[in-house]
Amino acid sequence: MNWHGVKAIYAFEMERTRRTLMQSIIGPVISTSLYFVVFGAAIGSRIQQVDGISYGAFIVPGLVMLSLLTNSISNASFGIYFPKFTGTIYELLSAPISMFEALLGYVGAAASKSLILGAIILATAGFFVPLQIAHPFLMVLFLLLTCISFSLFGFIIGIWANNFEKLQLIPLLIVTPLVFLGGSFYSASMLSPFWQTVTLFNPVLYLISGFRWSFYEISDVSLGVSLAMVLVFLTACLLIVSWIFRTGYHIKK
């Protein structure tokens, strides 16, 4: 294992975050704070509680997941796409480092950035609502699995994309709507029976539901199902990445 190569890629990606601090950290934190102001204050004044939890506190897990998913995907996809765009990917391919080691560097950095952002957003949330975490270990586990899974997903998007439009296509048109419709700002029990059934086909529902359970021990689906869905998604991403490495899809062709 070429740990020097992994460390070099990881350090380069983390340094890129420092250079783009406003876009990478400050921007998402400000956006999340605005969500608290708009949804927590405006809508929260009309919806006092959801399942016995104040509305402002109820939306915290959903807001954290919204930021984690979008930033994990964007960080990982841009990290591997930019070398393709500039042509420096060939330097990476000719270096004494395997694609698996490159994957560790890129995905590790993207997941680290998302974890840092998630921690900052949780700390920020404490200024707006009284925050309680019933199961800290489980919360951290969901954070880790989510960051790693969607960083892998972002890596796949970065490999697949051959222009900047495709790089933003899936996050904007698929992932973000799924997050908003996955119970970020409401409980699925508030929907009619038909839409409750439809919502069960949204994979993001299971992420948010399990993550919310670690805070308040309330969820739309069981904790076991939520963990299983996260692991299934992680496994699927690993299998796709393995296929990409075997075939050289959009890397060597």
* pLDDT one-digit tens code per residue, 157-184: 988 888 888 888 888 888 888 888 888 8
Q: Which residues, in sequence order, are CB contacts of 77 under 8 Å at separation 6+?
A: 154, 155, 157, 158, 161, 167, 171
Q: What is the DSSP string of 89-132?
A: HHHHHHSS--HHHHHHHHHHHHHHHHHHHHHHHHHHHTTTS---
- Residue pair 65/204 in contact by the 8 Å Cβ criterion: yes
The answer to the question of residue 253 being in a domain is no
Q: Please choose, from the candidates 135, 152, 129, the residue with its C-alpha nearest in 3D space to the C-alpha of residue 210.
A: 135
The answer to the question of residue 174 being in a domain is yes
Cα-Cα-Cα-Cα dihedral sign, residues 9, 15, 19, 23: positive
The answer to the question of residue 87 being in a domain is yes
Rounded to the nearest 10 degrees, the angle between the axes of helix 203-216 and helix 60-86 is 130
Q: Model confidence over 196-243: pLDDT tens digits? A: 888 888 888 998 999 999 999 888 888 899 999 999 999 999 999 888
**Which of the residue ranges 46-55, 149-158, 182-191 has the most confident prediction, judged by mean pLDDT?**
149-158
**Is the per-residue pLDDT at 252 higher than 70?**
no
pLDDT at 43: 65
Distance CA 195, CA 186 (A): 13
pLDDT at 97: 80
Distance CA 213, CA 82 (A): 37
The answer to the question of residue 188 being in a domain is yes
The answer to the question of residue 213 being in a domain is yes
**Which of the residue ranges 35-39, 63-67, 208-212 has the most confident prediction, judged by mean pLDDT?**
208-212
Token pair in block for residue 234: 């992680």
**Which of the residue ranges 81-90, 143-152, 197-206 has the most confident prediction, judged by mean pLDDT?**
143-152
**Is the per-residue pLDDT at 1 higher than 70?**
yes
Token pair in block for residue 76: 């990982």
The answer to the question of residue 226 being in a domain is yes
Residue 69's Cβ-side half-sphere holds a number of Cα atoms within 13 Å equal to 26
Q: What is the mean pLDDT of residues 12-28?
A: 76
pLDDT at 232: 93
Which ranges of the chain would DSSP assign to H, the alpha helix?
3-19, 21, 27-35, 55-58, 60-86, 89-94, 99-125, 136-160, 164-170, 176-180, 193-199, 203-216, 223-247
pLDDT at 102: 85
Give 15's pLDDT tier (boundaries 50, 70, 90): confident
- Residue pair 56/206 in contact by the 8 Å Cβ criterion: no
pLDDT at 231: 92
> What is the domain count for the chain?
1
Residue-number span of the structural domain to which 147 is assigned: 3-247
The answer to the question of residue 35 being in a domain is yes
Mean pLDDT taken over the chain? 84
The answer to the question of residue 252 being in a domain is no
pLDDT at 108: 92
